[in-house]
Amino acid sequence: MKKSTKIRLVSLILVGILLGFLSEMFLTIFSQWTTKMITSSTINVFFSLLGLSICCVIFVFSYLGIVKNDEKWPIRAYFTTFILYDVMIVFGGELCRLFILTFTQS
C-alpha cells in the first residue's frame, strides 16, 4: 500500500470519529432545544430532518475532500473506504453518547 493511501485511510478514520462525535453532540443539543422551544410536532420533525441533512452533507463532502486527490482506485476500494468511514462515524457517535451519559448522570 502506498504511503499516500495509508495517510488517507488514517485521515478517514480520524475525521470519521471526530465528525461522528460532533454530529451526535450537535443533534442531541439541537433535539433538546427544539423539544423545549417548539410545541408543534410537525415543525419539530422538520427541524430534526434539517439537522440530519446538514450532518449528512458534511459527511459526504468531507469524505470526498479526503479521497478526491488520491490516485484512481477501483470502485471496490471507494466502497470499502466509505464503509470504513461510516463505521468510524457511528463509533464516534457512540463515544459521544457514552460521554453524554457519563456526564449527565453525575
The pLDDT assigned to 52 comes to 86
Q: Are 59 and 88 in contact (CB under 8 A)?
A: no
What stretches of 1-106 show up as alpha helix (H) in DSSP?
Answer: 3-37, 41-67, 75-104
Which amino acid, one-letter code, is at 47? F
The pLDDT assigned to 17 comes to 92
Which amino acid, one-letter code, is at 53? S
Map grid coordinates 449528512 to a residue: 56
The pLDDT assigned to 21 comes to 92
Whole-angstrom Cα distance, residue 56 to residue 48? Answer: 12
87 has a pLDDT exceeding 80:
yes
91 has a pLDDT exceeding 90:
yes
71 has a pLDDT exceeding 80:
no
The pLDDT assigned to 78 comes to 83
73 has a pLDDT exceeding 80:
no
> Integer distance in angstroms from the first to the last C-alpha of the chain?
46
